[in-house]
Structure 1
Amino acid sequence: MTTMTQVDYAKHAGVDRKTVGRWIKAGKYIVLDGNMIDVEASDKALATLRDSQDPRTKNAIKKNRSIGKETTIDTVKEIMIATGAEMSREEASRVKENYLALLTKLEYEKEDGLLVEMTVAEAVLFSAFREQRDAWMNWPSRVAPLMAADLDVPADRMTEVLIEHVHKHISGLGEPEFNTDET
């Protein structure tokens, strides 16, 4: 842990000493270690809470870092996992703007008729499949006498057999097997 005085940290951060004093009073950015300022923790707080387009933030970045790209990515992932995925103000703003853009796109597609409400789709599918089921349930009593006449078998026996098999088939369709590996 590197520490500095208020004056030295103000030079390091590219601000005046009064600004550092205000930050300390407000309890915002500066992390104190006794009367000294913890440079790494304060720089991290500045990077998180300040806009990176602000030219003063470039002064708060340590120079001569020779960390590889993969090491940096791993470090960032570890920090995000450890701290609950805290984001910088910029990153949070970017995520928010992307989310709002997606919401606007969804609203447009809904108004344009490209999207359908889930409840409406469920109701349409339910009624369509109910009609299909009802048609199949009535089919044996309509067709069994005709089939029985063609095969020279009793019509009531043919109706019983067809009803049994159609009902078995319909109940099998009503209880589909769900396999999570297929999705």
Structure 2
Amino acid sequence: MEPTELISDDAASSNDALNRKVALTVALLASFMGVCKIKDDNINQAMQQAQADKIDHWGFYQARNQRQENAHIALLQLRLAAPARPAAEQAGYQKAIEELEKLEADQAKKKQDVQKQARDDQANYDALNYRDDQFDLSDAALALSLSMLAITTLTRQRWLYRAALVPTAFGVFYGAAGLFGLPFHPTWLTNLLS
């Protein structure tokens, strides 16, 4: 055997080993990204529901507020009109005033309940968005990693494979944080990208 043949065989074997590493890494990342995508889609659906619930509750709040205002206006009108009415009508006015006072108080209480629900919906949305941001960061980092791995296959540069492991680690970390609900969130980065 010629020495150049040995070098060629070693280089081919080395390139095959690199290609196997890249292929295995890509397959694992694609599988991981698929699992993260399913969870992220479920979180997005929950975010949409929380947003719809919040809008509905604020709509109910406005309706309760309008009912309370209408009751208050009618109550004021009755209170102003009652003293000028004959004594025989005073009992009817007093009964109407009492009913409107109850209605106004009832609408105020219901308005507070709906307001609390709307604020809870917003808190739920914010918590889900926190996890959605984790998946978004994971997707971006893993997409960068896959691009670097593709270039590694073309150029056969081992250093590029090792460099691709940096965004891989970042992407897997934030994907796992999103999957398991871990409290890791680079707020500065998400604010920068928002």
What TM-score does the superposition give when structure 2 sets the normalisation length? Answer: 0.30
Instruction: Say which structure is richer in helix.
Output: 2
Q: Relative contact order: is structure 1 or structure 2 higher (C-alpha 8 Å, sep ≥ 6)?
A: 2
What TM-score does the superposition give when structure 1 sets the normalisation length? Answer: 0.31
Larger gyration radius, structure 1 or structure 2: 1
